[in-house]
Each structure stands twice: as structure tokens, then as C-alpha cells.
Amino acid sequence: SDSAPIFYEYLRPPCVHQHFFNNGQKIIAGSIGSDLVVNDSMCADPRYYLAAESCCPPGWESNGDSAIRICSYNGERMKYSSAIDRCKTNDLDQCNPKKMARNICTDTVAYSWSAAGCSVRAKISFEVGHQVARVDNPQQDWAGKRNVKNIVRADTINFFQVPWRGNIEAIPTNRASCDALSSCYSVVDGCICDTHVVETTGFLSTTEISTMIDVREMLRVGAFNPEMFDTGEYSNLGNCGVTGLTVYTRNDGYCSSLDTSTVFLFTDDFGVDRYLKNMVSNVHVDGITPDLFFRNAVHFIDFADRNARDMHYETDAAIDTFFYHPTHAPFLSIRIIQRIAGISNPSPKYVERVSTAYKNGSFMGQFGSGKYGDLGAMVAAALLDPEARSVSLDIDPSHGHIREPLIKIISFFRSMETKLSAPLSVPLLYSGISKTIGQGPYRSDSVFSFFQPEFAPAGVITSAGLVSPEGKILDFRLINLLNGLYSTVKFGYSMCYGGFGDTNLGAACPRQEGVVTEDALGELTYTGNPNSTPDDILDDLSLLLTSSRLSETNREIIKSSFENIYLSGNKAKGIRIAQQLMVSTPEFHSTNLSKPNGNPRLISTYQNNPSGHYKAVVYFEMEGGADSFNLLVPTGNCKNGKDMFAEYQRARGRVKLARNQLLNIDASGSDQVCNTFGVNKKFPLLQKLYAEKQALFIANAGVLAKPLTKYDNWHKESKVHLFAHNHMRNENKEIDPLNENTGTGIGGRMLDILRRQGFHTSSNMVDGSSVFAKGSAFDNNPTWNVNLKAPEVIDKYSTVGPDMLDIVKELNGESESDNSVYGETFSTRITQSLYEYEEGLKMDEMMDDPDFNMDEYPYGSDINDKLRATAQFMKMRGERKVNRDAFIVTHEGYDSHTETVDEVNSKFKSANDALQRFIDEMKRQDIWDDIVIVMGSDFGRSISSNSNGGTDHAWGGNYFMIGGSLNGGQILGEYPEHLSSASNQWIGRGRLIPSTPLESIWNGVANWMGVHDENDLDHLLPNRDNFKKCIMFTDKDLFIDGQVPSSTCSITNPPTLAPVNSNPTTLSPIPLPTPLPTPVPTVFSTKGPTSQPTTPVPTAVVTESPAPAPTSNP
């Protein structure tokens, strides 16, 4: 025939391999030369198609003939019995070759069968949980070597979890107990034992099966659909009396006579057909009586034939595991409800209803396909649930949410009938909008989106035990959002005066409000009805912009502001005033009922100068997880002559540093594993300050709930979500692993205590928001957002006039006790932002004064400018009337999964240069001795490198402190004596459990800042009693001017899992340097809850502020 040939490709269905098997056969790869050495070998199950033949002439044991391959096609694989037959057909023997040359048959098949045997052993980890790895023991080659493939070699770290059964007390837990077993021998990280596999029939008869649950609990080995086999090979016996089960047997079997070839079919809870083989495969550890065994584990990827197909199958299986996990539906339901239905804190019943729709694939019989995992059914359930639609719930203070910035902008444009005039090729929102308002289309700062679902802003939401994800971006950018909305009302959709447009197409900005910019991208066309009264306009705008939730108090404020102008005939201007004031209300920014009471919102401010001298702590956060084991490296003069630098280089692999990339420091007085360490050459400032006794390191520190080693159940007892950016980042800034002071940070709590003592405090977040700065609502400690540059004038060419911002403050005044927690949060935040804006303008005016200008401090990188803004804010400390500051400054970009060493080092260089300029300015201000900088990061990174040449999330890391008063030139904590599994802190994958808790660092810093009382310290660090007293550094350990003596380990508190937190309102009285501030009517709230609400929906969110603290000792 002249027709073109048709080629078929066989794509094998997903299939797994058992890790352990009996009667293993050795397979080999590569050429074998005259040295008789096999360079790559391992065990293979002779029952499977894994390797090619190795054929030798008869008598091969004594002669030196090379083995040959006789493939039918390139890439052919076969079972071991087939290899024997292939060789025999050609008058040859399947052999254990002494020599082998490569030929065309070896192009795509790496391995060949050998006649040599190979036993499969289990490597049992000494760590808690006793994970297992496979170790192959092939017969030696003719040169007396084994050269086992690294993934199944004795030093493998490829451990996996197994369910241990039988005599579990006999599991070897250390080298001594291992070596006592005749069938085992110990290595550093485990016990390697001989094994044998026992495969038994799960059910001999269906009479042993009561329900499908019995099958699911007993059987773990999957099977192919029997219908795939040749007709007659399997018989369908029906359910054999077990509802929901289908039984297939080979060769006309019977329900009463089942064997390991029997296959069971049932449909699981998710509607998925599952096929299980009637076989139980257990791996028994030899030499232990009674038997110790575990279920045989499986893997998708064939060790002898690694290919993309199986990797896809394994990935699919992993995704299926998550997809069908029982927590998946409620987890996703909460996210959908928060994001789409707009309910930040859904009730458990609401979540259950949405989860059920997702699992059933149907809602109300009208939405969904009827299959598990139907997103349409889930979204319909979320949107149409009574909890999402009931108007009566608007009165509930905790119902609803804070609206997202982009949603507010788009909603405003649509409601105000925006008419676009820009061509489609012109972007409507300018590219920098994410930085300006905190959110932009497709411009999330990270993979974690614009905010985290569990975020709780400081104040009533945190105090009520609620969350508000959108509250994450309720910061200084609120001013930009309002200014953009004002500009759009006054000048159209353009880039003029803070507008949201990307371009004006070359047109100049108007110099009069109410004039639409020429070539604007669009304009608002809402005019209301020509016969509308002011009340009609307010009704209309309230409906369109607040869903008719505008309170009577705010309605009267807006009406009085625009009514006269509107009635005088200038209706357009009157409407512009009403529009701008409407978008300034909490009702526009949140989705339940706000209840302002008409009183001005107050602020606790400082009228008098503080009497004590100034001190500040700067938390320098290397966000993303800094590779701090390339920041501090052991280089020489180590204990017992050990070469720690060589161990460091072996452990770090592709991310190791050479000696010429390090600057040596003397650690001889620090009792570390080595007397000489190296600091990364890109951070020379640390070496310089260390030599000047103004820098110190804390080795292998991190978040800990209690002292732990790898022999503990560390994953459970750590009490934190390990290795995840969002959780670990917060843990590092909260220092509260047991959640005794939920929603507060270490900086905020420290200043709360100092403020009670009479210090004038300020908690400051530089160019962002952070839990670090949050204190308790009871203390109402001032919190500032520090901008990188002087504020731009907002509301330019104001429609209202100079009273505009005062009216906005009035719209966001004090509220009733049952006010919306979201409206309250917005009002608190916007009034604080306006105060910061007004104070920023005053500070900017002072910059012309020689006493305050920063001309010697140049602008530069992002982190440089953040530290510059910090220094400028410190310079204004007298005008701010504070003598205790806490700052958080974040340097992003340390998540180095794929980055090279050079790229990570570039981050260190950027930090080095920025910190050097900052220190120079501190010295010019003559306050370097009064500043301490504490470096932190999400977590340490893995010691070992990953396959991409980077590192992964780990736990313990090395941190530094720098400051003019530090007792520097020392390394505190405990640098690991082993950078391998020999360390008691090693938990696999290059991760180390910290040996020093972060509480140790902050205990000493808090002492230095003025926190000395034990009750105060217990409130600040509620977890510290879980550690020995001597682990807690004091200010005498850390600073040359410290006052609190060092502790000794003879004074200890027994560790507990849940320390009792002291009541912060009943602390021992302390002498107060100055009186506490007096409330004056400006913009900060003085209200705060006196206690944590006991129900999820608080009936009274806020109460009156506490009485002032005493001004002197009783």
C-alpha cells in the first residue's frame, strides 16, 4: 500500500513501585573497563521490566570476555527472566560481567541486569518518628567494589514516613541499640538493617468484610481496572453481599475464596472509583522477635528509568492528595467567602454549607455539575447564603469586611457613571498604583497576594479575636486612595494631582477644581435628577456608594457641607462636595453599619518634653529568609583539631563560600566550636564593628516554644507553623509562639510597658505595616507610619476649601460601643493617617533649618531610603517629644530558592552600604550609643543546597546586633558543632532546630530599653519561663552600660507547654520618669477594650480608656 505508515506510542498508566522487595537482582550502568570497576549499581525487582540483558559466552566466570547487549530495539527493557531467555536464545549466558562496552542498545537504557544478587535494606532514622530510607547492598563487582547509586547508598538522606507495627519498642533509637542487633549496623544518622517482605492476602472471603470501610482500612495497594485485561482474565462477582463493593477475581474465582490477585472496586466519598488489590505488603526488620514491621512504601519514579511521565503522575497524585483531603473544602470555602462574598469572619455553619456545596458539586439543585470540587456550586453557595444576603446582619459589628482599594475605585467609577474616552490601547490605571494605594491589577508584591487571610489589624478587630485581611493595607496609603478619588471628582480620570490615570496624553493639569483635564481618560457624568433636593442627592449617593448604610450623623455633616452651595444654583459643585465627603466615610470603606456619635476622635499625645534620655531599637528585617549560614562561617582554630570549614563546604555544596569570600573575626572568647569565624566579604561593616566591640552575633537562633532537639517530637511541640513565610515571619515579630498576647508584636508590647512607666514612646513602621509595632488596645500606644519622602499636598484646589480635612476627621469621629469593627478600624486608621500627614508637612518645613536638614545623607537604594527616613524621624524626636522609639525596617528579596551565591551576596552588600550610611548619620546626631539594630529574618535557610543552586526554607539561623553601646566582639548562642545529621539539632533536608530562642535576644534588649521587672518581662515574653534563666541574655550580657546582672543556670524554671501569662494591668508599680500624656482632642482614639471578648461576635467592641497611671510611687 502507498498509504503513510501509522505510528503508535504506548503511554503507560500511572503505576508505582514498591520500595522494598525480596530476591533483588543487581543492575549496573555504564561501561566496565580493564579495571573491572562498575561505577553505578543498585537493586532491582526481577519481576519488572527495568533493565536490559548482559550476555556473556559460557565460562564467563573465568574468562575476560566482554558482555554484549542484543536488543530488539533501542530502549528495550525486560524482566530478569526474559534477559536469561534472550541470552540463552543466542547461546550465551546472562552474566555478572567483568567488562562491558557501550553500543547502540545502551543509548536510552542506562541499566543492564547482572547475575549478581542484591539485598534491599532499611535505614531507620534515630530521630523521633523513625523515618526510613532504602539502602541497597549489591554483590561486589570483580574489583571488590559496590559503587551504589547515591539515592540508595548508606549515606542517603531520602527518608520517608512509615507506619510502624508490631514490636515497636524494639526500634533502634541510637547507635548502641542498633549495633546490638545481629542483622543491623549503625551509621551517623540511622540504623541499617536487613529486611524481608511478607505479602499476604487481605481478605480470604467476603464474609470477613462487613462494610466498605473494612476494605479501605485494610488495603493500601492500588490496582488497574480489571476491565483493561483480556476478556475472561477477570470475573466480575458483583458485590458478594457487601453494599457498594464490586469484587473481581481471576479465573472464575468465588466470593468465599479470594487471593492476592483479587481486585475490589468501590466509589469513595468524593465520587471517585477506587481499585484496590487484595494484598497486604509489609516490610519486616530481620533479627527482631517478635516481628517489627511497617507497610511497604511506594514511589512513582522508577530509580532505573527516571522520566517526565512518572514525574507528572507523581505531581498529579500529590495534587489529588490535597484536593481530596478533608480540610480542603472548608479551607477553600473560607477563602472564597472572604474574597468573593465579602465576609471576613464567616460563621462555622456558613463555612459548612459552602463546603457541602463544593463536595456535593451542587447548590439548590440549580448550580453545579454534581461532582466533587465544583467551584460554581461553591461560589453560588457563598453568594446566595443567608449570611451573605441578610440585611439584618449589617447591624452585627463583626459581620462584613473592609473593602479592597481596587474594588472601591471600580465601584466608584461605575456608580458615578464614568464615561471613558481613552482608546483601548491606553492603560487606565497607572503602573505604580500598587505602591500608591496598596493594590493594583496583576501587581501583587509577592505570591501571598496583597494581604493574608489571617491578618488582624491592631485595635478592636484584634481585641475581638477577629480577622480582616484587607486591613493589611489600611496604612498611610489611605491618604493616596482618598486623594485619587478627590482628584477624579474634581479633574476627571487623569494623572493630575494624585489621580489614578496612567497618562494625560500630553495635556496640562487644570488649575481650577471642577475643570476636567483636557484629554482625560474619562470623567464622571453623574448629575442626579435636575429636580433633586439635597436630601434626594444624599439618598441617591448613599444607595450607590454605601448601599444605603450612611448614618444619620454623617448624613447631617455632609448635608451641611454642600446644601447651601447646591441650593444657590451651583448644583454641580454641590454634588462634587457630596461625592468627595461620601467616599471619606467609614460607610463607604466597610460593609456593615457604622455608628458615629458625633464626638471628635481623641489622641493621647505628649505636651511636655520627656525627662529621660533617648533610646531606640531598630528591627532590621531581612524578609524572605536570609541565608545567614553564608553570613557567619566557621573558618579555623576549631575544637579537637576539627576542620569545620571543610565540613561547611561539603554541607553547603553549590552555595558554599571560598575562603577569599570571607573576612575573619576572632571568636576565641565566645566558647564556640571554632575560635575563628568568617563574615561574608560583602558585609565588611560587620567585621569592622565586631572588631570595635559594636557588633555581636547570635548563632543558630530562632522561634522556639521550648528547648528541642531532633529526638523530640519537634514538629508538634514547636507550636508554630514551621517553614512557611507568612507564619514564621509573624512569629519572629510577635515572639509569642503560644499566642498569649494575640495580635501584638514584640516592639509594641515593649513600648506598652515603657509607656506605663512614664516614658514617651512611639512605635514606628517604615514604609509599610507590621505586627512588630502593635501593642495592646488597652495601652493605645502611638503608632506611626514613616514615609520615605515628604508628603505631597493632598486635595489640591479643594472643592470644599481649607476645612476639608477637618470635615473628614469629623466624619470619622468617635463611635458608639456597638459600632462596626471594620468602620471603627477604618476611621481610626484614616484619622491617624491624616494626623501623620499634617505632622509630616510640619516636619518637611523644618528641613530647611540647619538643625534638621539631612543634606549629608544621600538618597539611594530602597533600603537606603528606608533607613534614611528612619534617621530623619529620629532627628525629629524632640519635636515628637519622645524618648523611646521602636522601628521596623524591612529589606525585601532574600527568598533564594534559585539564586546564585553572587545574587544573595548582592543583597548583603546592599544592606551593608545602607547600614553604613545610617550609622554615619547616627554619629552625626550623636545618638549612636543610644541605638541598637537587631537583625531578623523569616527563618534560616537550609544548610544543603537544592537542585536549583539555591536554598530552601529552614529554621535556625545566625543573626547580628549592632550598636554603639553593645558589648560586642562576641558570638552568643551555640554555633552547631556539626553541619550534618550528626548534630542533635539536624532534622533533615539541611534544617537545624534553633538552640537559642529569640526570647533570649529580646530579653536583653528590653532590659536595656528600661524593662526590668520580672512581671513586665513575663508579659513581654510570655514563653520565656519555658527556658533556663541563663539562656535569657540580660542587658549586661549585650551592652556595656547594662544594669541587669547575668543569670546562671542554677536558677531555672521547669519548662511547661503553656505558661500562664501575667496580667499586664496588675504589674508592680515602677517609678515614672515623667507624667503620662494628657488626652487632647485631635485624631487618635483613646478607646480600647478592657478585656478580651469571650464570644466571636462582641456585643461591646470598645470601652472607655483606662484611668491614667500613677505619676509617682505609692
pLDDT tens-digit readout, 913-932: 999 999 999 999 999 999 99
- Model confidence over 562-580: pLDDT tens digits? 999 999 999 999 999 999 9
1101-1110 pLDDT tens trace = 333 333 333 3
**Is residue 720 within 8 Å of 1004, Cβ to Cβ?**
no
The three-point CA angle 974-978-981 to 5° equals 120
Position 509 confidence tier, pLDDT thresholds 50, 70, 90: very high
Which carries the bigger pLDDT value, residue 337 or residue 6? 337
Per the model's pLDDT, the better-predicted residue between 82 and 69 turns out to be 82
Model confidence at 100, in pLDDT bands (50, 70, 90)?
Answer: confident
Give the pLDDT of residue 611: 86
CA 1078 – CA 641 distance, rounded (Å): 64
Closest by CA to 184, choosing from 249, 252, 243, 137, is 137
Mean predicted lDDT score pLDDT of the chain: 89
Q: What is the pLDDT of residues 391-402, one digit of tens each?
A: 999 999 999 999
Q: What confidence category does residue 148 fall into, taking pLDDT thresholds of 50, 70 and 90?
A: very high
Q: Is the pLDDT of residue 997 over 80?
A: yes
Residue 1090 exposure: Cα atoms within 13 Å on the Cβ side: 8
- pLDDT on residue 1084: 29
SS3 sequence of 232-247: CCEEECCCCCCCCEEE
The DSSP symbol for 852 reads: T
DSSP letter at 940 equals -
Q: Which amino acid is at 558?
A: I
At position 95, the amino acid (one-letter code) is C
Phi, psi torsion values for 1078, nearest 5 degrees:
-100, 135
Burial 513-537 (b: 16+ CB within 10 A, else e): beebbebbbbbbeeebeeebebeeb
Per-residue pLDDT for 485 more than 80? yes
pLDDT per residue as tens digits for the range 203-223: 999 999 999 899 999 999 999
C-alpha cell at 351: 463555612
The 3-state secondary structure of 774-819, one letter per residue: CCCCCCCCCEEEECCCCCCCCCCCCCCCCCHHHHHHHHCCCECCCC
Q: Which residues contact 571 (CB under 8 A, 6 or more apart)?
A: 527, 528
Q: Which residue has the higher pLDDT, 495 or 504?
A: 495
Q: Taking residues 292-321, what's their average pLDDT?
A: 92
Q: Which pLDDT score, from 0 to 100, does residue 181 have?
A: 96
CA 341 to chain centre: 25
Q: Which three cell numbers stand for residue 769?
A: 505595616
Lowest mean pLDDT among 102-111, 769-778, 1012-1021: 102-111
- Amino acid type, 223: A
Mean pLDDT for 348-370 is 96
* pLDDT for res 850: 81
Average pLDDT over residues 310-324: 94
H runs (alpha helix) in 62-172: 80-89
- What is the 8-class DSSP label of residue 168? G
Would you place residue 459 in the very low, low, confident or very high pLDDT band (cuts 50, 70, 90)? confident
Q: Which amino acid is at 1093?
A: P
Among the listed residues 896, 971, 943, 974, the one whose alpha carbon sits nearest the alpha carbon of residue 647:
943
pLDDT of residue 106: 65
Between the CA of residue 592 and those of 104, 819, 954, what are the distances in Å? 75, 9, 42
Pick from 756, 749, 724: nearest CA to 735: 749
- At 415-454, the pLDDT tens digits run 999 998 866 655 667 777 888 888 888 777 777 788 888 8
Q: Which of 133, 168, 119 is nearest to 293 (CA)?
A: 168
pLDDT at site 426? 55
What percentage of the chain exceeds 70 in pLDDT? 93
Cell of 436: 500608591
Per-residue model confidence (pLDDT) at position 1106: 33
Helix axes 534-546, 405-415, angle to 10 degrees: 140
| For the chain, percent of residues with pLDDT exceeding 90 | 70
- Mean pLDDT, residues 173-195: 94
918 closest CA partner among 906, 905, 902, 935:
935
Query: CA–CA separation, 671 vs 1053, rounded Å?
Result: 24
pLDDT of 517 strictly over 80: yes
| Mean pLDDT across 997-1014 | 96
Query: How would residue 787 be classed by pLDDT, with cut points 50, 70 and 90?
Result: confident
d(CA 686, CA 693): 10
pLDDT at 76 over 90: no
Q: Does pLDDT of 1062 surpass 60?
A: no
Check if the beta carbon of residue 142 is closer than 8 Å to that of residue 35: no
CB-facing half-sphere around the CA of 865: CA atoms within 13 A: 9
